[in-house]
């Protein structure tokens, strides 16, 4: 399921863009969930508590926070989703580039331009191999994308999931349950019985340790050579 968050404090514009999303998804039989927001703080709160969207469509000029402010905050949190700005002016190109936005659409948004932009984003998402997974947390679930998961550690009878940007989740799920959930994704490997690692974030291997950012992860005794070969094979297969 692809989640698209639409943010606009103008009710009519919000309704129009949400309708364009629905039509685009229906015509292509895409599994899409559209979540409209009229308040930027509500969007940021939802992204923090429930997990971010795959695509953000953000109005730039709003009375509380600008769409640029929202995009900057999302990027600070490590959110790597696709961002498209909705604007009545072309003057924000440099700012859009600074937050790695996919582009912008001029308002009033025309259906042809919208469909072209969304078509490119759907192809990009498919090429990234991104997929949402649901991780149990205290009192519910958290939706995260597979490419946000850096590593999972099991210690003191609990599991801690490290996400991009240094965010962390604690989960009652066992490492076996998490491993089974992530089994379809070849980037996730277990160098040790207490860890699952996303190989895309591995920055080096030395002796019986691997480096994931600043973290040093042990490799199971006697498995260092096999893991190095596995890691290199994965890198060359990409």
pLDDT in tens, 15-24: 999 999 999 9
Place of tokens 């409209």: 36
97 confidence band (pLDDT: 50, 70, 90)? low
Backbone angles phi, psi at 223, to 5 degrees: -110, 5
Say what the pLDDT of residue 127 is: 64
* Per-residue pLDDT reduced to its tens digit, 170-196: 999 999 999 998 987 888 999 999 999
CA dist., res. 177 & res. 152, Å (int): 12
Q: Which residues of 203-229 are buried (b: 16+ CB within 10 A; e: fewer)?
A: eebeebebebeebebbbeeeebeebee
Average pLDDT of the residues in 95-112: 85
Question: Mean pLDDT in the chain?
Answer: 88
What is the model's pLDDT at position 123? Answer: 81
Contacts of 23 (CB under 8 A, 6+ apart): 111
**Residue listed under structure tokens 């042809």:** 112
Name the band, by pLDDT with cuts 50, 70 and 90, for residue 104: confident
| Strand ranges across the sheet with 209-212 | 202-206, 209-212, 215-218
Say what percent of the chain tops pLDDT 90: 48
Contact present, 135 and 142 (Cβ < 8 Å): yes
Query: What is the rounded CA–CA span in Å between residue 142 and residue 47?
Result: 10
Decide: helix, strand or coil at residue 71.
helix
CA–CA gap between residue 72 and residue 205 (Å, rounded): 33
* Bridge pairing between strands 2-7 and 32-37: parallel
Q: DSSP letter for 109, please.
A: P
pLDDT for the residue 95: 65
Q: 1-5, 110-114, 122-126, 132-136: lowest mean pLDDT where?
A: 122-126
**91-105, 151-165, 193-207, 218-232: lowest mean pLDDT where?**
91-105
| Whether 188 contacts 182, CB under 8 Å | yes
Alpha carbon distance 94, 90 (integer Å): 10
* pLDDT of res. 233: 85
pLDDT of the residue at 101: 86
pLDDT of 96: 64
Residue 148 DSSP SS3: helix
Any alpha helices (H) in the chain, and if so which ranges? 11-28, 40-50, 67-76, 93-98, 111-128, 175-182, 224-237
Q: Is the pLDDT of residue 238 over 70?
A: no
pLDDT on residue 117: 93
Report how far apart, in Å, the C-alpha atoms of 144 and of each of 112, 132, 150, 154 are.
Answer: 31, 6, 11, 19
């Amino acid at each position: 399921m692809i989640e698209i968050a639409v943010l606009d404090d103008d009710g009519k514009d919000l309704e129009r863009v949400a309708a364009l999303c629905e039509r685009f998804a229906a015509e292509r039989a895409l599994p899409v969930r559209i979540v409209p927001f009229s308040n930027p703080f509500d969007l940021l709160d939802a992204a923090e508590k429930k997990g971010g969207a795959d695509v953000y469509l953000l109005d730039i000029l709003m009375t509380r926070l600008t769409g640029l402010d929202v995009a900057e905050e999302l990027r600070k949190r490590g959110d790597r989703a696709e961002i498209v700005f909705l604007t009545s002016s072309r003057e924000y190109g440099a700012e859009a580039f600074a937050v790695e936005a996919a582009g912008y659409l001029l308002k009033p948004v025309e259906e042809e331009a919208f469909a072209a932009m969304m078509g490119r984003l759907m192809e990009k998402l498919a090429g990234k191999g991104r997929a949402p997974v649901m991780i149990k947390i205290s009192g519910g679930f958290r939706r995260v994308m597979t490419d946000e998961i850096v590593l999972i550690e099991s210690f003191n009878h609990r599991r801690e999931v490290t996400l991009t940007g240094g965010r962390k989740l604690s989960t009652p799920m066992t490492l076996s349950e998490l491993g089974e959930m992530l089994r379809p994704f070849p980037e996730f490997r277990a160098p040790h019985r207490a860890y699952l690692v996303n190989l895309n974030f591995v920055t080096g291997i030395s002796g019986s340790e691997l480096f994931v950012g600043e973290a040093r992860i042990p490799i199971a005794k006697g498995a260092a050579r096999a893991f190095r070969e596995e890691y290199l094979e994965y890198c060359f297969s990409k």
